[in-house]
Amino acid sequence: MTAHRATTFLAAFNDIEQHLRSTLNAKNSDSFWWLVDRARDKHFLSGKQAEALKDFSNLRNAIAHGRYFDSEPIAEPHEAVLRQISALRDILLTPPDTLRILQPRPVFTLPSSTSILDAFNVIKDEDFSQIPIYDEGSYTALLTTNTIARWVAADLSDNHLLDAADIADIVKFKEPSDRAIFLARRVSVQETMDRLSEPDSQGHRPCAAIITEHGKPNEKPLRLVTPADLPALFDALEWE
């Protein structure tokens, strides 16, 4: 039983190491921990997965280079460890694409010349909290309910506020977090989650990601990814 578990574990570990070396174009002299750190930096792995792989490398060393008894290694992988490393290998070798995990959903956009009353109707009818603004085929801003609230709070005494305003007036009240990032069609689930959680130089995280063919603001939006989509993305990377 021990030999079988050890063989299964080593096979999965070797698959992972070979995949990382090939993907990262690594040298033979590059350590496994170096591979793991680079893979995490490139959004191939989460931080938790990277730490697990480093633990697995210690177990690999114990099996491959440790003491043996009756021709079997004394270090024995637990069945739960075999399940974890096998699942992690599958995720690494065939990482799920975001667009394959999330349900298809057309991206609703508005031009900046749209009146705020029309925007309100869209938000109410469609239950949106973010609407990408596109002018002449290019992204210009992200209209959020937070931006609208700040605009309203700026001048509650103006009775003609709603009649006169359009979206171009509203987005002037946006904050640094009222922004979207752009990702390419084949973006992985791991990179999508990482990019949505990465703050900018001033510590502000984006509140949405827009997926286009090549991740460009002047391309047709294929999917809007918001925090509401994160549970489905997390489930796709479940490996424990």
Choose one of 75, 94, 113: the last residue of a domain. Answer: 94
* Burial (CB count <10 Å: 0-12, 13-18, 19+), residue 170: buried
One domain, residues 85 and 142? no
Choose one of 69, 94, 119: the last residue of a domain. Answer: 94
| Tokens 């509650």 -> residue | 156
CATH value at residue 206? 3.10.580.10
One domain, residues 80 and 105? no
Choose one of 94, 128, 144: the last residue of a domain. Answer: 94
One domain, residues 105 and 86? no
One domain, residues 65 and 183? no
* Burial (CB count <10 Å: 0-12, 13-18, 19+), residue 68: exposed
pLDDT along the chain (240 residues), means of 10: 76 96 95 97 94 94 72 76 94 95 92 91 89 96 92 72 79 92 96 93 93 97 94 89
Whole-angstrom distance, CA of residue 133 vs CA of residue 167: 8
Q: What pLDDT does residue 116 have?
A: 86
* Domain assignment of residue 54, given as a range: 2-94
Q: What pLDDT does residue 69 have?
A: 65
One domain, residues 105 and 214? yes
- pTM metric for this prediction: 0.84
One domain, residues 81 and 110? no
One domain, residues 109 and 228? yes
One domain, residues 36 and 140? no
What lies within 8 Å, CB to CB, of 144 at 6+ separation is: 129, 130, 131, 174, 178, 207
One domain, residues 164 and 110? yes
Q: What pLDDT does residue 158 have?
A: 63
Whole-angstrom distance, CA of residue 1 vs CA of residue 166: 70
One domain, residues 88 and 113? no
Q: What pLDDT does residue 68 have?
A: 63
Judge contact between 99 and 211, C-beta under 8 A.
Answer: yes
Report, in this order, helix, strand and coil percent for the chain, each rounded to 5. Answer: 50, 15, 35
Q: What pLDDT does residue 103 have?
A: 86
One domain, residues 24 and 112? no
One domain, residues 131 and 230? yes
For the chain, how many structural domains are there in total?
Answer: 2
